[in-house]
Structure 1
Amino acid sequence: MSTTEQYEVARQLAELGHSNIADVLDKACVDYGDKPAFSCGKDTLSFIQLRDQSEALARFLRQRSGLQPGDRIAIQLPNLLQYVIAIFGALKAGLVIVNTNPQYTAPEARHQFADSGARALIVLDKLLPLVRAIQPATQIEQLIVTSMDDLTNPHYSSDEADVTRLMQALREGATLPAVEAQRGLDDLAMLQYTGGTTGVSKGAMLTHRNILSNVLQAVSVIKQGDVEYGNEVRVSPLPLYHIFAFTANCIASVFTGFHSVLISNPRDLDSMFDDLKRHPFTLLTGINSLFVSLMAHPAFDSLDFSRLKWVNSGGAPLNTEIARRWQERTGSVIREGFGLTETSPVVVASTAFTPYKEGYIGKAVIDTWMKTVDDDGKETPRGEPGELLIRGPQVMQGYWQRPDETAAVFTEDGWLKTGDVGVIDEEGFLKLVDRKKDMILVSGFNVYPNEVEDAVMRHPGIRECVAVGVPDLRKGEAIKLFVSLHDKALDEKAILAHCREQLTGYKVPSYVEIRDDLPKSTVGKLLRRVLRDEARAQADA
């Protein structure tokens, strides 16, 4: 649904001469050559090595697997060098990528494979039993399999007719003639599936133009002098199957010549700390729960943060108290971004060097328009909350094979309805109040969970928290607070006393439940929906 209007980024794209995403790597090889592009553990690929490996894979995919430009290929891997090879190999072959979470259950994976119509799958070997169980319900014909240690301990042979080892595909592809991507800016590059929090998971159709435009928009906040293209080390713990990491930590990092350090398992903090000590990192991308976990690790204060220029937070709301604690302990600033799968994903991006206003995320990136509207679709005045709407060249084309859902998420004049409640001030700074559906109505007053959670997190003894609404006969809805603790001596009474000091009466939780841990998604996002559904079920009972 995005248009082909002549945005500033369209002019920049024309100057670059790129016709698809794969061209980004070709230009990076000219600019950065043998410099390190990606590391994982103790292994590293230079930009030229990445290009050679991905071209070999592209040749194999087109000339041995029977895939044609526009066919869908699913990738189901954790953060590995093989993942980056797969991304650029698929794009060089002109295929449409379907990023798939390797921790999916069989029903989740089956839905995504079947809905996308993927004909091939690049997958981790230990996931083969799950794939075999669901493959008859999909169109997958070809499996390309890799192991965690394939680059250092390569495996070449397979006994199954429809399985090719990735290392064999690379070896064979290197002997084949070159192929052309045969994809233009307005052709599909990806089907990026949403989290499914508002129904069945849907594939956002993202074109080469969408992604390349968003790369240019994201790097527009990075100025030469603040960083050095080709000389920054960026730690990337967010999984590449997440749209934020895909665009920012993969494609944009290649565009800027950053050396990206992929973290395969950010929950293995000891291993991640080894990586942080191995590389003189200057940039870090994370998520609120990761910052909490890192700061709780006994080795945190022994890390060298002297080179760290700034930290980006994306994928989930950043708690202001966590950001304050991080800055106190590291001297580095976390700047939050905002985006959606449907916007490729960046809408707002900030760095330590861009304009900042406390309590706000930042301003929209170039060629991105934002407004807020009320329930009737009428634009709300600056400074007043409303549903956030977006326009720009990064906005998706729609949902794959779902015209009704596509129509529902766009206004008649082409604005994307985000489902987020936001405030845009007179200067254009955006503050997210909350998800529209998460708002709690207490005795006729609107209460936004993020506001409650920010207040709760000002207590140093609280590790994480989630506020949800539950049915209440007197108030309509009451607030229930779930917390995990740093200070195990804290009890419900003390937590509520703190809330009364920080919040007006109707915003104070009626219930507090202390847990050892709060549920999170595979990318570390606190699962408010799970806790809300659980709390409401208990209240109904």
Structure 2
Amino acid sequence: MSAPGVATALRADPVALVFEDREYSRGELDRLAAGLAAELAERGVRAGDRVALMSGNRPEFVVAVLGLWQLGATVVLISPSWKRTELEHALMLTEPVLGVGDSPLLAEMLPMRHLDEPITPRTPAAARPDPASDAVLVFSSGTTGLPKAVRHTHASMAAAVQHWIKVLELNSYDRLQILTPPSHILGLLNIVTVLQAGAWMRLHRRFDLERMLSCIAQDRITIEMAVAPIALALAAHPELESYDLSSLRYIMWGATPVAAGVAETVTARTGVPWLPAYGASELPVIACSPIGDVRLDSVGKAAPGVRLRAISLETREPLGPGEIGELQARSASLMAGYLPDEATASAFDDGWYRTGDVGSIDADGWIRLTDRSKEMIKVRGFQVAPAEIEAVLHAHPGVGDCAVFGVADPGDGEAIVAAVTRAAEVVPEVTADELAALVAERLAGYKRLRRVVFVSEIPRLPSGKVLRRILKEQYGRQIHE
């Protein structure tokens, strides 16, 4: 592999993607995509058809996306970690005509073009898919039940890419790593954005913290992407200071609100600032902190081209600056709708997309997320945000990770429970009484913890979002035992 630097930058067709010891230029990716597109066309795939893509992190994933888009087909992104029941639900919902990938499970359920088979490059045709046609179906997080398929058109994806380029101030000199699954909207958005901006990326087969840190120095990475599990791992790394992270402009924190204590710990140890951002499968880029003017208590300000408002949870009327309600958005990057179709109507309120997030927008446009509306805990009529309590718990050095949730209670409506992992090598171990006292000292009485359960791991999606329903199922019944 050639070393990064001036020689690479001056190539007529510069490197766009690196995977292990293999380099790919944008031209090579396009030629491979054209070859795959021609092969799939021979197998009967036509514009408007849906094709399931179930693949691990590999260059052929990128080639498959580009090839299907050259055909005008719709990419149905399926997580390679899904099991049979989840895959059956996805295929029933989207009805793809063919599978592409490296999953034996997908091959059992659909005729599948395996990505281990060689692809013969061809000269790309000038393909211009209809901007209004579906480009990708990506599944929503599914934190409260079976996931829905989110429909993004070529126009909405193009708008999201432009928004991401603007808020990240991305240019052709930037270098990124792709560690998050490309079957998730953030992974796909990062890949397509790097290609559009003419930047450089290293695609990793899987997340490995040591490899990620080593590559920052080796590849002179300028922008690092992190979700909550990566941020937690960085803060807890005993030898973080030994890695050269000087090439980084910032680390982007997305998918969940910033845990300020975790972010501050990483910055204090490395000198690298954070860039909070906010998006969703349905609207990939909602907000981002202005570079050079970052606040860790906020996800930033609305991205260019995105309009935001807060709506009262009780009256459904628009709220003024600083008032807490459901956040709603309008943007050209907004999804076209869901599958099943009947789920789409409830996602909108008079043309505004209902994010399901609770928060406020101050007079200067700074957005503060409180929590998910479906995850708010109601105690004696008061709305309690799990994230507020989690922020207090994260500040305790004995806490490795945590998640707060509510369980039914006949007296208070709901009782507050915290699931906590203990931080490694912190002696003495933190106790439930200590954590309950800390919350009681910092927050109002109705936000007190009824119970603390110590667990080995907090269940999270790859995006970092906590699967509270799993915690409720596992520990909710213990509250009255």
Q: What is the TM-score when the length of structure 1 is the normalising length?
A: 0.82
Q: Does residue 1:114 correspond to 2:54, yes or no?
A: no
Stretches of structure 2 lacking an aligned partner (at least 5 in a row): 1-8
Q: For residue 145 of structure 1, what is the aligned residue in structure 2?
A: 114
Q: Give 1:507's aligned residue.
A: 447
In 1: Cα distance, 2:249 partner to 2:294 partner = 16
Please show how residues 227-246 of structure 1 align to structure 2 within 5 Å. Answer: 229-246=171-188
Shift of 1:285: 0.5
1:89 equivalent in alignment to 2:67 = yes
CA contact (8 A) 1:383 1:423 kept: yes
Aligned AA (1:518): I
2: CA distance, partners of 1:493 / 1:513: 11
8 Å Cα contact 2:258-2:297 kept in structure 1? no
Structure 1 unaligned regions, length at least 5:
1-29, 148-164
Distance 1:132 1:185 in 2: 31
Report the secondary structure of 2:460's partner residue: coil
Find the residue that maps to 2:282 and give its secondary structure.
Answer: helix
Equivalent in 444, 449, 460 of residue 397 of structure 2: 460
2:143 is the counterpart of 1:197: yes
Q: Report the TM-score when normalising by structure 2.
A: 0.92
- Alpha-carbon separation, structure 1, partners of 2:228 and 2:143: 19
Match of 1:398 in 2: 337
Aligned equivalent of 1:291, options 231, 234, 238: 231
Q: Deviations over 1:466-485 (max 9, x none)?
A: 01112223322221111112
Opposite residue 153 of structure 2, the aligned amino acid is T
| Alignment match, 1:451 | 388
**Cα–Cα, structure 1 residues 243 and 59, in superposed 2: closer, same or farther, change >3 Å?**
same
> What fraction of aligned residue pairs are identical, expressed as a percent?
28
Query: Counterparts of 1:232-381 in structure 2 under 5 Å?
Result: 232-247=174-189, 249-266=190-207, 268-343=208-283, 345-350=284-289, 352-353=291-292, 355-374=293-312, 375-381=314-320
**Alignment check: 8 A CA contact 1:94 1:180 kept:** no
Counterpart of 2:420, as a letter, is V
Q: Per-residue CA shift, 1:96-150, capped at 9, x if unaligned?
A: 01111000001111221232111121211xx31x2244x1xxxx33x12134xxx
Structure 1 residue corresponding to 2:31, chosen from 52, 74, 80: 52
What is the aligned-residue RMSD (CA, Å)?
A: 2.2
Q: CA deviation at 1:307?
A: 1.1
The CA distance in 1 between the partners of 2:70 and 2:260, in whole Å, is 41
Note the 1:198-237 alignment, pairs <5 A: 198-223=144-169, 229-237=171-179
Higher relative contact order (CA 8 A, sep 6+): 1
- Distance in 2 separating the partners of 1:33 and 1:321: 45
Confirm or deny: 8 A CA contact 1:37 1:258 kept in the other structure: yes
Separation (CA, whole Å) in 1 of partners of 2:388 and 2:160 = 30
Count matched residues: 469
Q: 1:436 aligns with which of 373, 381, 385?
A: 373
Question: Which amino acid letter does the alignment assign opposite residue 249 of structure 2?
Answer: K
Contact 2:416 2:448 (8 Å CA) reproduced = yes
Superposed displacement of residue 383, structure 1: 0.9
**Residue aligned with 1:342, SS:** coil
1:270–1:428 CA distance, 2 compared to 1 (3 A)? closer
**Cα shift at 1:213:** 0.8
Cα 1:32/1:243, change in 2 over 3 Å: farther
One-letter identity of the residue aligned with 1:237: L
1:525 pairs with one of 465, 476, 479: 465
Q: Distance in 1 between matches of 2:441 and 2:222?
A: 39
Q: Is the 8 A contact 1:360 1:430 kept in 2?
A: yes
1:536 alignment partner in structure 2: 476
Q: Determine the C-alpha separation between the residues in 2 that align with 1:40 and 1:302.
A: 25
For 1:515, give the aligned amino acid. V
Q: Is the 8 A contact 1:188 1:205 kept in 2?
A: yes
Residues 263/318 of structure 1: CA separation in 2 closer, same or farther (3 Å cut)? farther
Are 1:234 and 1:260, in contact at CA under 8 Å, matched by a contact in 2? yes
